[in-house]
Amino acid sequence: MWCRDMWTLGVKFRCVVLVGAVLALSGGPCEAEDILVPLGSDALLPCSTSVSRRAVAHAAAIHWRKNSNGRVRTVCRRERSGLEFRHVSLAGRTQCPQSDFRSGDYSLRICATRAEDGGEYICTVQEGQRKTVKTVFLRVIQVLFSLPTPIEGSRMQMTCSVNPKPQGATVSWKLNGDPQPRYSSTVTFDYLKQTHSGNWTCVVGYKQAKGEATESMEVKGITIPQNDGLMVYGAPGSSVTLPCVFSEGLRSPAVAWEKVSTATKASLPLPLSFNKNTSVFSSGALSPASSLGPWDLSARVESVEVKDEGTYRCSGELQGNKGLRTRVKRDIQLVVAQVFSTLSRNGSRTLTCHLSNASEVTAYEWLRVTYDVNGTQTVTPAGKSKVMTIPKVTETDIGEWVCCFSGKQGILGNATYHLHMISGQEGVERETGKVNRVAMVLGLGFLFLVLLLFVLQVYRNRRRRKMTMPYPAMESIVHSNFNERERRQIEKQKTKSKGVVDV
Ligand SMILES: *[C@@H]1O[C@H](CO)[C@@H](O)[C@H](O)[C@H]1NC(C)=O
Ligand SMILES: *[C@@H]1O[C@H](CO)[C@@H](O)[C@H](O)[C@H]1NC(C)=O
Ligand SMILES: *[C@@H]1O[C@H](CO)[C@@H](O)[C@H](O)[C@H]1NC(C)=O
Ligand SMILES: *[C@@H]1O[C@H](CO)[C@@H](O)[C@H](O)[C@H]1NC(C)=O
Ligand SMILES: *[C@@H]1O[C@H](CO)[C@@H](O)[C@H](O)[C@H]1NC(C)=O
Ligand SMILES: *[C@@H]1O[C@H](CO)[C@@H](O)[C@H](O)[C@H]1NC(C)=O
């Protein structure tokens, strides 16, 4: 009988019919097909025969059954008469059969698949005298997290669950579409970080079938910046923002800003111009009622001073799993950038780009900023090193010199130096010259005075010698004593004057 069918249907369909016939005779299932679907999606369990004759298809009896651990239950059934039955738990979620069966397609569609829908399904089609049996394994993939509210710093497990679990399946992971090669079907995060947030996709391969499921994970805590160690750059007098944005949905953030010493870990006073985001603090946005949106608790240093460099800490307490409170924090480093200017003896001026921490800087660039009569700014590159030397400062060099520094991600910041002529080479040189001349005149005058005194003394001595001739011995004693004292005095005065001259 199956032979006649085979001939009438043509060579093309021989195989299917043959399988169907064999199954009809043996009663056992043919080779099963695996379907891998993510939880919540629609599953299409294929079952088709190759009958294209409307009459036969119309009169087909279809029976879909599910084998749950040896207990076989009807999922849906359509009798030749057109009468339909559906399983209660699946009712409303099945289309049985799903498409028009003129083409011989008796596939079963299950909408919004649940984990318990996974299992072995058996499709039996009776078309006239022909019976076709097909087995389909529906495997439901699901990404499971061990914590309902993942919070920064927590320990959490992520599992790729497949129901029913196939033996020897391959499991791999993607985060936001990027492959994560090191992970197996169960991933343990010892310390949750913001960088773990995103869409986690578990990719399962089994025999020829492939399927994947994606679940989004949002780690609660501080979303901006994502990690400790962010560096913000500011020149003295400029204003900088220290970002700190908490994720939404947190109940009790006791938020604090402090400056911490990296050496002693002690708390340091905040800068004078430190400005917490008062718009948030004062508007009552921290009350539990408005806990839905993210909280921007960024602070600002309105006018950076050199001593403001250092580490700032933003922290808050979050209510997490089982009501436990977890403190999350971010350390942000404020780096002060400034230009040091030195004038060397040969008259060249050296500008040095100095940063309180240059560990992130990979390149420096000096820019000359000039303005024309209309105030239009012109920026000219002037060098590509940390230190820049202007051999001889001229009128054209007066104005703004900007040091731009950049890291791997691009430009980090800049610091400006205003070069004035008065502090320039010429002004200073004239000033120092004047000072030197005054010192010289004073010194020479003093020397002259000393010489005059000396000559006067010699003259007086001579006169005294002439007067004391009758007592030569006494004269010599007096004289030698006198001379000794005289000499010491003169010596003292000489060294004193020398010191002045040298200055
Ligand atoms: C994660 O998936 C959702 C929904 O498909 C999408 O809107 C979102 O942009 C994705 N997030 C990322 C970081 O790719
Ligand atoms: C302060 O908070 C408001 C509202 O959240 C935000 O628009 C503003 O940008 C914040 N200011 C700073 C300096 O971060
Ligand atoms: C001036 O001296 C500095 C070092 O003090 C040197 O680097 C520079 O080349 C000198 N310039 C000239 C024009 O001699
Ligand atoms: C500069 O910053 C880096 C990274 O935060 C840190 O390891 C280093 O100790 C800092 N250096 C100084 C001199 O503060
Ligand atoms: C300045 O502006 C005037 C009129 O706006 C224009 O004619 C002139 O060319 C400008 N000068 C320069 C140097 O750009
Ligand atoms: C220096 O930085 C400020 C602020 O980031 C920016 O507005 C300015 O354009 C920068 N200057 C130069 C010359 O790049």
pLDDT above 60 for 369: yes
pLDDT digits 0-9 by tens, 441-467: 677 777 888 788 887 887 788 877 766
The atom number, within ligand 6, closest to the CA of 402 reads: 13
Domain topology for 336-424:
Immunoglobulin-like (2.60.40)
Ligand 4 mutation target, pool 359, 360, 362, 408, most atoms within 8 A of CB: 359
Give the closest residue (by CA) to ligand 6 atom 9: 414
**Integer Cα distance of 68 and 120 in angstroms:** 7
Instruction: Indicate the CATH number for domain 141-217.
Output: 2.60.40.10
Closest residue by Cα to atom 5, ligand 4, is 229
Query: Using 50, 70 and 90 to split pLDDT, how confident is the model at 43?
Result: very high
**Do the domains spanning 141-217 and 224-328 agree at the CATH topology level?**
yes
CA–CA dist 421, 418 (Å, integer): 10
pLDDT of residue 2 exceeding 60: no
Residue ID of nearest Cα to ligand 1 atom 14: 176
Ligand 4, atom 10, lies closest to the CA of 357
How far is Cα 195 from Cα 152, in angstroms, rounded to an integer?
10
Tokens of 91: 């009712």
Q: Which atom of ligand 1 is nearest to the CA of 214?
A: 2
Give the residue-averaged pLDDT of 347-371.
94
What is the per-residue pLDDT across 282-297, written as a single tens digit (0 to 9) for each? Answer: 444 454 444 456 778 8
pLDDT tens across 463-486, in order? 777 665 554 444 444 455 556 666
> For the segment 85-97, what is each residue's pLDDT rounded down to a tens digit?
777 666 678 877 6
- The predicted pLDDT at position 6 comes to 29
Ligand 2 proximity of 243 Cβ (cutoff 6 Å):
no
Question: Is 224-328 CATH 2.60.120.10?
Answer: no
| Ranges of each domain in the chain | 2-139, 141-217, 224-328, 336-424
Closest atom of ligand 5 to CA, residue 373: 13
What CATH number labels 2-139? 2.60.40.10
275 lines ligand 2 (CB under 6 A): no
CB 320 within 8 A of CB 220: yes
348 C-beta closer than 6 A to ligand 3: yes
User: Which atom of ligand 3 is closest in space to residue 347's alpha carbon?
Assistant: 1
Contact 136, 121 (CB under 8 A): yes
Q: Are 45 and 117 in contact (CB under 8 A)?
A: no
Total residue length of the chain: 503
Q: DSSP string covering 287-351, please? A: SGGG-SS-EE--EEESS--GGG-EEEEEEEEEE-GGG-EEEEEEEEEEEEEEEEEEE-TTS-EEE
- CB-based burial, 24-43: b 16+ in 10 Å, e otherwise: beeeebeeebbbbbbbeeeb
Among 170, 160, 135, 54, which residue's Cα sits nearest to residue 101?
54
Mean per-residue pLDDT over the chain, rounded: 79
Q: Above 90 in pLDDT, residue 337?
A: yes
**3-state SS string for 433-460:** HHHHHHHHHHHHHHHHHHHHHHHHHHHH
Task: Specify the pairing of strand 299-301 against strand 310-319.
Answer: unpaired
Q: What is the pLDDT of residues 425-445, one digit of tens each?
A: 444 444 344 445 556 667 777
- H or E segment to which residue 178 belongs: strand 178-180
User: Taking 80 as the threshold, does the pLDDT of residue 329 lie above it?
Assistant: yes
Entry pTM? 0.67
Alpha carbon distance 67, 447 (integer Å): 122
As a whole number of angstroms, the distance between CA 213 and CA 37 comes to 7
